[in-house]
């Protein structure tokens, strides 16, 4: 009598790969007999696990700039099980409801950041949006985001994130943006808020509430927004050690993003747009906008194992900076700002008197400079340009875009009082969200260019347009 075990190993491996969307089934199959256990766990290489991984997720080698060949070296099985475990945990709300808890379903606090990082890698290693246009020398357009709905351009990673979002499984993360929380939980909260900054309020409520409904009608979203305003408009927040922006200081040469602050700014910006009913086309609702390389000229500009040596010698706009952008800025009238800061400890709702403006911004690359603290793959991009137009006074801007030690992309821009270089006015510091060159843009904090103690403060969101 013929048994399934009599089939060639190649056929049995194909059966195993077909179970990629059911990790527990692969585990159960391995326990059914020694033949399957040997095929799954006792192979001399990671070939089978690479097939399993790529049947469920995008190929990370296409977009993981900082870890070229890392998956070949460190194991596809490890990354597959890490992501599958993280997705399963996120789908259990009790795991992430309380930032004050010491454990979640038996998982220790110190392990929680790595769990969230596994989820974040779904965003940052999603297949590049420009992959479908890899033969073209022209930059990808914002239309690539809508094209991603086609099967050919679909991202397996974004599919997994959307499954969790449409099930409302990210909703409990909202509590992590609202104090109180323990200082000892800082790493866990930073990780959770990074995911919130990537996904935004629309993806933290159930699918029948977005993208057309106001996510802040949800009580948890409204509470997160309340505390988000307190952080965004805290005049004591900017410090020299923070680079006067949304950063955390670690050493003389090292800062990383403050994702709690950045998540707060995203919530405030989205609320400002919704409150006025303005159709700003914020890059908020489509998670495909998190995918990398939307604004690079072609896929080959993305460093991979195949071209990394050449790119070390090539100056290029690796962040997709040059082009037309929209800059959305939020602030409070100065009197309202002073009053708001005077009521920071009061839980009663404060009349914010919030104001916003949505302006055009055109940026040009001026030059490239080696980053003494960074990788030779990513030189500092020096930029200049103009903001305003559409009935608004024109202002000259200049700055740079660089990569931080953790792989985050820092935006640093100074605006002048007019179109000349006579007097600096505002300083903007921020961080790219999503993959490098994603259509999601960058979020950040603005304040006075001279960084005086009583300078106003607000938030901004920049995204590229056609």
Q: Tell whether the model's pLDDT for residue 399 goes beyond 70.
A: yes
413 and 459, same domain (yes or no): yes
For residue 25, the enclosing domain spans 4-42
391 and 316, same domain (yes or no): yes
Q: Residue 48 falls within a domain, yes or no? A: no
Confidence band of 459 (pLDDT split at 50, 70, 90) = very high
What's the maximum distance between 2 C-alpha atoms anywhere in the chain? Answer: 89
| CB-based burial label for 445 (10 Å; 0-12, 13-18, 19+) | buried
pLDDT at 402: 94
Q: Check: CB of residue 377 under 8 Å from CB of residue 400.
A: no
Over range 103-132, report the average pLDDT. Answer: 74
pLDDT tens digit sequence for 40-92: 998 888 889 999 999 999 998 887 666 544 555 558 999 999 999 889 888 87
395 and 454, same domain (yes or no): yes
% pLDDT > 70, the chain: 75
**Number of structural domains found in the chain:** 2
b/e code 279-288 from CB counts within 10 Å (16+ = b): ebebbbbbbb
Confidence band of 300 (pLDDT split at 50, 70, 90) = very low
32 and 61, same domain (yes or no): no
Over range 254-268, report the average pLDDT. Answer: 93
148 and 36, same domain (yes or no): no
pLDDT at 131: 41
Q: Residue 226 falls within a domain, yes or no? A: yes
Over range 377-397, report the average pLDDT. Answer: 84
% pLDDT > 90, the chain: 36
Over range 196-207, report the average pLDDT. Answer: 83
Alpha-carbon distance values, 332 to 163, 205, 222, 238, 245 (Å): 37, 28, 19, 16, 18
Mean pLDDT check: name the lowest of 122-131, 141-150, 407-416. 141-150
Place of tokens 């070229």: 68
90 and 13, same domain (yes or no): no
pTM (predicted TM-score):
0.87
Q: Check: CB of residue 156 under 8 Å from CB of residue 310.
A: no
160 and 22, same domain (yes or no): no
Q: Tell whether the model's pLDDT for residue 98 goes beyond 80.
A: no
Q: Tell whether the model's pLDDT for residue 338 goes beyond 50.
A: yes
30 and 70, same domain (yes or no): no
CA dist 136 and 131 (Å) reads 10
pLDDT at 211: 54
68 and 160, same domain (yes or no): yes
Confidence band of 105 (pLDDT split at 50, 70, 90) = very low
68 and 161, same domain (yes or no): yes
Q: Tell whether the model's pLDDT for residue 329 goes beyond 90.
A: yes
Q: Check: CB of residue 83 under 8 Å from CB of residue 117.
A: no
Q: Tell whether the model's pLDDT for residue 453 goes beyond 60.
A: yes
Q: Mean pLDDT score of the chain, rounded to an integer?
A: 80
Element holding 261 (H helix, E strand): helix 259-275
Confidence band of 376 (pLDDT split at 50, 70, 90) = confident
b/e code 176-202 from CB counts within 10 Å (16+ = b): bbbeebeeebeebbbbbbbbbbbbbbb
List beta partners, residue 392: 389
Q: Residue 49 falls within a domain, yes or no? A: no
């Amino acid at each position: 009598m013929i048994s399934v075990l009599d089939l060639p190993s190649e056929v049995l491996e194909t059966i195993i790969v077909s179970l990629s969307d059911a990790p527990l089934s692969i585990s159960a199959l391995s326990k059914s007999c020694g033949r399957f256990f040997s095929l799954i766990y006792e192979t001399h290489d990671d070939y089978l696990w690479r097939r399993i991984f790529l049947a469920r997720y995008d190929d990370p080698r296409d977009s993981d700039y900082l870890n070229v060949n890392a998956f070949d070296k460190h194991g596809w099985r490890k990354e597959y099980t890490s992501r599958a475990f993280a997705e399963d945990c996120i789908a259990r709300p009790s795991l992430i409801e309380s930032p004050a808890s010491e454990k979640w379903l038996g998982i220790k606090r110190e392990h929680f950041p790595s769990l969230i990082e596994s989820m974040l890698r779904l965003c940052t290693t999603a297949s590049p949006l420009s992959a479908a246009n890899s033969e073209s020398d022209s930059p990808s357009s914002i239309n690539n985001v809508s094209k991603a709905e086609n099967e050919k351009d679909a991202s397996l990673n974004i599919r997994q994130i959307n499954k969790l979002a449409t099930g409302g499984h990210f909703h409990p993360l909202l509590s992590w943006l609202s104090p109180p929380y323990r200082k000892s939980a800082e790493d866990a909260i930073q990780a959770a808020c990074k995911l919130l900054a990537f996904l935004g309020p629309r993806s933290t409520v159930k699918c029948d509430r977005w993208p057309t409904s106001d996510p802040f009608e949800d009580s948890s979203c409204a509470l997160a927004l309340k505390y988000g305003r307190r952080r965004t408009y805290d005049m004591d927040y900017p410090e020299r050690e923070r680079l006067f922006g949304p950063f955390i200081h670690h050493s003389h040469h090292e800062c990383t993003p403050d994702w709690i602050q950045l998540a707060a700014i995203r919530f405030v910006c989205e609320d400002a747009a919704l409150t006025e009913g303005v159709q700003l086309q914020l890059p908020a609702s489509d998670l495909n906008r998190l995918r990398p390389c939307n604004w690079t000229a072609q896929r080959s500009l993305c460093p991979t194992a195949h071209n990394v040596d050449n790119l070390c010698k090539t100056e290029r706009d690796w962040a997709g900076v040059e082009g037309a952008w929209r800059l959305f800025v939020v602030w409070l009238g100065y009197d309202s700002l002073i009053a708001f800061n005077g009521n920071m400890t009061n839980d009663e709702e404060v009349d914010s008197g919030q104001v916003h403006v949505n302006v055009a911004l055109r940026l040009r690359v001026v030059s490239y400079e080696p980053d003494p603290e960074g990788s030779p793959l990513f030189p500092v991009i020096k930029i200049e340009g103009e903001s305003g137009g559409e009935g608004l006074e024109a202002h000259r801007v200049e700055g740079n875009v660089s990569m931080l030690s953790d792989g985050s992309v820092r935006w640093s821009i100074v605006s002048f009082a007019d179109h000349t270089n006579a007097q600096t006015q505002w300083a903007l510091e921020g961080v790219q969200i999503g993959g490098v060159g994603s259509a999601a843009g960058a979020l950040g904090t603005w304040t006075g260019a001279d960084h005086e103690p009583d300078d106003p403060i607000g938030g901004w969101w920049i995204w590229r347009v056609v």
